[in-house]
Structure 1
Amino acid sequence: MSLLVTAGATLQCSFGAAPAPMSVLPVNRVLSGAPAATVVDNVPMVNVMPFGVCSCAANPTVAAATAAALGVLTPMPCVPVTVAPWVPGSPTVTIGGMPALQNASKLMCTWGGVITVVAPAQVTTMVP
């Protein structure tokens, strides 16, 4: 069993330099102290905030800055680009018709990073 992820959870990208808080809009009306997240809470700049600077060469801004620096890796601002939902979600618990987000879920960034939940923001509600 995993922990339910709520608003205020701490996220980290494998290519980001800093953790970022997760924001969950209270549209599903399920609260565990804070609004509970689902697998579709993956919208950049709404649910998933920037992770400081990005060091992935697949990110076009990093690639351009690195080329301008004659091949020296040059990190640039990390703006996540997430187009698919978190995987996996809870197989049995749904919120507003969508699988609940658990702390074991991962979110893939288009530029190659893997976003994980470092701290789910609550430690009392478990989901299978």
Structure 2
Amino acid sequence: MPNIEGISVQKSNAERKSYVVVGAILSCSSGSQLSRLKMPFSHGVFVKGKPQMNILDFVPNVNIMPFGKCSSLKNPAVASATAANNGVLTPMPCTPVMTMPWIDGKPDKMVGGHPALLNKSTNMCFHCGLIKIEAMGRIWVV
């Protein structure tokens, strides 16, 4: 970081937590592209005018959309295509399969009766992809 009038600014190692609102960008460790977190209806809680998400906003193809092409061999479509291609990894269209709520919500901040979703929250696809909240849509926790 640059010096400003003799003051050296250091990057903090402290974890910054933020609430997640509709439109946050998601990634999957097995997917080929990013996706956006969606919400068909609001929980009635807004932060800076944006609907706030909770840990139960994990439904595939409702809240969590496909991530392009999946490269996980735990995905039967990828395993089958790879076997048919003489063992050469053959990514196939992503069909996310989540069976549980987001992990690491904020239990002392309820949104629609459930813990608020935070930028550090994660989820796992049944095909072993780690789903994370990457950017945008976040509002910093005070």
Q: TM-score, normalised by structure 2?
A: 0.84
Within a 5 Å distance, the mapping from 1:15-54 to structure 2 comes to 15-32=30-47, 33-54=49-70
Give how far 1:120 is off. Answer: 4.1
Q: Which has the larger radius of gyration?
A: 2
Distance in 2 between the 1:25 and 1:36 partners?
A: 12
Gaps of 5+ in 2: 1-15
Structure 1: gaps (5+ residues): none
* Structure-2 separation of matches of 1:116 and 1:122: 13
Once superposed, what is the RMSD of the aligned Cα atoms? 1.3
The counterpart of 1:80, out of the listed 96, 102, 106, is 96
* Match among 62, 68, 91 for residue 107 of structure 2: 91
Alignment coverage as a number of residue pairs = 126
Q: Is the 8 A contact 2:119 2:138 kept in 1?
A: no
- Judging by fraction of residues, say which structure has more strand: 2
Instruction: Please state if 1:106 is matched with 2:122.
Output: yes
1:97 Cα deviation (Å)?
1.1
TM-score (norm. length: structure 1): 0.93
Which amino acid counterpart does residue 20 of structure 1 have in structure 2? S
Aligned to 1:65, the other structure's residue is in SS state helix
